[in-house]
Chains A and B, each alone.
Chain A
Amino acid sequence: MTEITDTVSPSLRPDFATIAAWIKPATKVLDLGCGDGALLRYLTDTLQTKGYGVEIDDTNILACLNNRINVIQSDLESGLSGFESNSFDYVILSQTLQAMKHTENIIHEMLRVGKEGIVTFPNFGHWKNRLQILRGHMPVSPTLPYEWFDTPNIHLCTLNDFEQFCHQHSVHILERRVMTGSQQTTFAPNLFGMLAFYRFTQRK
């Protein structure tokens, strides 16, 4: 998994604030690929949410326990069969979608288990990425820090790609934020935005 496992304080994580802005207080949140549990800790502290994380990595499981976060060790690729349908208000998949094999399945599972889904991913369409490809190389950037030969990212996409995917898979996008660092990107986000945030639900 490509979690951001920095232990930086939440105030230094604008992505946390962006996600938190979408979450109502005292709701129930499932964070898939929760890393060290920092996001859930932040949501619990600021919004009094009831949170559970899912993680596969031993070190992260331990970090979650140290962070006083409920964490379930499990492989997301095998789905969310341990979770009841409609048992969460929000299911978050933060910076993990691009590293998953079974993309369609996990989005489907998120909307089975949760009323709403929230995903964040690095926008492959950012101009710096495009430029590096034009120069003949796979992009390496702060949001895509891996070389082509050691990257866990197998399903990178652009904003346009994700929106098309949602359209084709009966996913109704409720809200979108595109960020570059701590700034929101509103002008030509598929070209100038680095990190994409989507809040979505099942299309009725």
Chain B
Amino acid sequence: MHDSDSIGIVTPQRLHFDSPLQLESGAILDSYDLVYETYGELNADRTNAVLICHALSGNHHVAGVYADNPKNAGWWNNMIGPGKPIDTNRFFVIGVNNIGGCHGSTGPATLNTKTNKPFGADFPMVTTIDWAETYVRLAQKLGIDQFAAVVGGSLGGMSTMQLALDAPEKVRHAVVIAAAAKLTAQNIAFNDVARQAIITDPDYHGGDYYAHQTFPRRGLRLARMLGHITYLSDDSMAEKFGRELRSGSLGYNFDVEFQIESYLRYQGDKFAEQFDANTYLLMTKVLDYFDPARDYDHDLSAAFHRAKANFLVLSFSSDWRFSPERSRSIVKALLDNNLNVSYAEIASRHGHDSFLMKDDHYHQLVRSYMSNITT
């Protein structure tokens, strides 16, 4: 990793929480672990903490590299580090793996101490509301009364909004990127096809595939392939792959012929090796359930009445999964509540994935906003 601005070697940490977590679904998680990483120093007044909320396939490894795996850079390493838009020279940055995840925090693959078997299908359904509660408890353990900022893209943007709604005093600034106040029917449809791919895989075994020493690899692979299509734009796919053939000529068979097929299969295979299918199922449900206006007669402005944070909302022009229009509805709700909000629609050809990419204007906007946050 030749990145002079990188935070360098980082080490994940683990905290155990003994007090039961009452989940939105009604279920109770008796105890749980959160795995997290921190970068930079918490200042004496504990006023410079920035929480990063991850998206569907993300985790706590947000920036830096691991000593035993220097190639494994955090998923937002281009955004976070010394001198970067989210500057670890100023901020104490926290990345946390959400519960239900598969990278260390308690999730479906975790051993259930009651049964001495992995939770599997028994792992309760979680929501952004449950995650927000875990963020509050994590902050408490770290001695942080209020986050200087909470930042998230996509599902992470939803978690950011949820925390700003559920714990208004804990969030001074909220940066909500490529997100939406709720999924559309089309979004939910994509998620359900992904879930069906996993659930109908014969290796799924009702979610208890761990006991069968197997894994619904084919289903997860298909789910990821589908997801990946929706994260890119038609233009960026055309630009990157077009109708280019892998071997240069048509084979008249069902093998990989077009480059896009090769790319998607590779992405699917790679993902299926490192992600847990049950977590994928859970995360898509978290997305589907997110709808803060639901309890307010579908009035998003009423839902945001309790928020107090200052907001930066960003969207990307070619993002059709969470389109700029979806972000504008968030902005409208914030304006209706007289909250401080800035909104930018960033010209980008890379679809929903734009939020993970390095783009000068995008990074400048985040840098400017973050640099004006007093600590």
Contacts and interface: CB of A to CB of B under 8 A. Distances in A.
Contact of A82 (B328, B338, B368): B328
A73 to B, nearest CB: 5
A73 B343 contact: yes
Contacts of B336: 84, 87
**Interface of chain A: mostly helix, strand, loop or mixed:** mixed
A73 B345 contact: yes
B335 A65 contact: no
A64 B332 contact: no
B365 A28 contact: no
15 contacts: A28-B338, A50-B338, A58-B347, A61-B365, A62-B368, A65-B312, A66-B372, A71-B342, A72-B335, A73-B344, A73-B345, A82-B331, A83-B332, A83-B335, A87-B335
B243 interface: no
A68 interface: yes
Contacts of A73: 343-345
A2 interface: no
Contacts of A64: 342
Size class of the A contact interface (CB-based, 8 Å):
20 to 34
A65 B311 CA distance: 12
Interface of A: 28, 50, 52, 58, 61-62, 64-66, 68-74, 82-84, 87
Given A62-B364, A72-B331, A74-B343, 4 more contacts: A50-B338, A58-B344, A65-B369, A68-B372
Interface string B332-375: 10011010111111010000000000000100110011001000
Nearest to B340: A70
A83 B331 CA distance: 9
Contacts of B341: 52, 70, 72
Given A64-B342, A70-B340, A70-B341, A58 B361 contact: yes
Contacts of B364: 62
User: Which of B312, B335, B372 has the most chain A CB atoms closer than 10 A to its own CB?
Assistant: B335
Contacts of B365: 61-62, 65
Contact of A61 (B331, B340, B344): B344
Given A62-B364, A65-B372, A70 B332 contact: no
